[in-house]
Amino acid sequence: MTATRPTRVERDSMGPMEVPADAYYGASTQRAVLNFPISGQRFPRRLIRALGLIKWAAAKVNMELGLLDPSIGNAIVQAAWEVAEGRWDDQFVVDIFQTGSGTSTNMNANEVIANRAGEILGLPRGSRKVHPNDHVNLGQSSNDVIPTAIHLSAIMVIKEDLIPALEGLHQTLLAKSQEFWPIIKTGRTHLQDATPIRLGQEFLGYAGQVERGIRRLHYALEELAEVALGGTAVGTGVNTHPQFAPKVCTLLSQVIGHPIRETDNHFQAQATLDNVAAAGGALRTVALSLHKIANDIRWLGSGPRAGLGELLLPEVQPGSSIMPGKGNPVIAESLIQLCGQVLANDTALVMADLGSYFELNLMMPLAARNLLESASLLAAAARNFDRQCVQGLKATTRGPEMVEKGLMLTTALAPVIGYDKAAEIAKEAARTGRTIREVARERTTLTEQELNAILDPEKMTEPGLGAGPVSG
């Protein structure tokens, strides 16, 4: 027979409710636990940290404004800081799929902080001498706290995790670009042979994608820096001091190291998730860039004998349970799959923004889950791809060996002998298996010296007309 867990009785506006005796949360949180036995998923650490920081700063500002008794306020400050630092994460027990405003999680934070603050003051849990609404939630509403927490937590993940991971990958790609710069190979468009390109130029393109992704993330940080705090229920700011939000934003800016500002239009800030959707768009574009880079590297390493075989990827594990000695591009595949998840999350973010009705968005928990997961996944995968794949890439001789056989060397002949005649040479070379140089010797009056100058692959990797028109 299973032992019954000890309980205590707490109260909220709906009346008494039994909660676990050792819990810091109270009646409202317990009702939410019973109401939403959905996924078992909880809000991530960064969002709980953001909630703790908001409550910490709110108590400080409310004391400064003379709205909160210092004895209660200082206890709230200590308790809220403990929440921000992760001491009470196990007390945040409400499912992600809950009330659309996130009220249940805001009350979860209010109750944990209130009971912990009461304990600091020597009071038993459930005493409500430190009140979750009257004291911890003073000057706030779930409707402005939760969107603010989403913005703050996303800023922390993007700034502390994702941007540094991408900066590391960017530097590695630049280093590989320099390493591979002397290697000239056949370019590809439409999966068909094109004019020569440096392997280093391809990697310079990858580095440029990541660099621009970082730039877009800085735009996303600016979107997220505008917060809804101060609007309370519907954006009017009822029941809050006019100086509350700007003062709280100042404290939050200091503690997270990024400037946070109260929105100048609360009605849009609480009625929509447009800022979150915009930030999600930056994450989506990063995912698209990483997908392209990982897929290219996977293809360039295909083979080793029946594929392109221009790159050697680090072997990190056996590739097959049946084929001995096989190696697979597993790190690239991991990243590609993750990018698919980020794109799915972005679709959920768009749907969450569509949940904006009149004065409130009602899909905030869904938005928080997907925005934070995407940023965290991209950070982890970019770091892993950098360390376990890109840093260990090596070029083979396959690319340079195929350049002389490339049919698109005729591109350099076109300005000299004309497009149509160059096309005939390319078709004959393809039909006979000979090189462009060999056919051009027969079908033009160009000297060997002129052909060497015109069909120089290195010149074809630079802007300009190459050798330019010559006589003959």
353 & 423 share domain: no
The catalytic position among 13, 190, 321, 471 is 190
My answer on whether 417 and 377 are in the same domain is no
Q: Does any domain span residue 83?
A: yes
Q: What's phi and psi for 223, nearest 5 deg? A: -60, -45
Q: Tell whether 283 is covered by a domain.
A: yes
Q: What is the CATH number of the domain that holds 111?
A: 1.10.275.10
**Averaged over 138-161, what is the pLDDT?**
98
Looking at residue 102, what is its pLDDT?
A: 98
Are residues 292 and 236 located together in one domain of the fold?
yes
pLDDT at residue number 134? 98
Using the predicted structure, report yes or no on whether residue 468 has a pLDDT greater than 60: no
Give the tens place of pLDDT for each residue, 357-392: 999 999 999 999 999 999 999 999 999 999 999 999
**The one catalytic residue among 39, 71, 218, 320:** 320
Residues 91 and 224 in one domain: no
Residues 316 and 441 in one domain: no
Check whether residue 351 and residue 391 sit in a common domain: yes
What's the structural domain count of the chain?
Answer: 3
Query: Six-digit token pair at 365?
Result: 């928990």
Domain CATH number, residue 381: 1.20.200.10
Nearest partner of 307 among 316, 315, 297, 317, judged by Cα = 297
Shared domain check, 445 and 370: no
Residue with tokens 């010559």: 470
Task: Give the model confidence (pLDDT) of 166-185 as tens digits.
Answer: 999 999 999 999 999 999 99
| Residue 320 is a catalytic residue | yes
In a domain, 3, yes or no: no
Active site residue 291: no
Q: Is residue 4 part of a domain?
A: no
State the residue range of the domain holding 125: 20-138
Q: Which are the contacts of 136, defined by CB distance < 8 A and separation ≥ 6?
A: 55, 58, 59, 76, 80, 109, 110, 113, 114, 117, 130
pLDDT in tens, 215-226: 999 999 999 999
Q: What angle do CA 293, 296, 298 make, to 5 degrees?
A: 105
Provide the whole-model pTM: 0.95
Q: Do the domain assignments include residue 11?
A: no
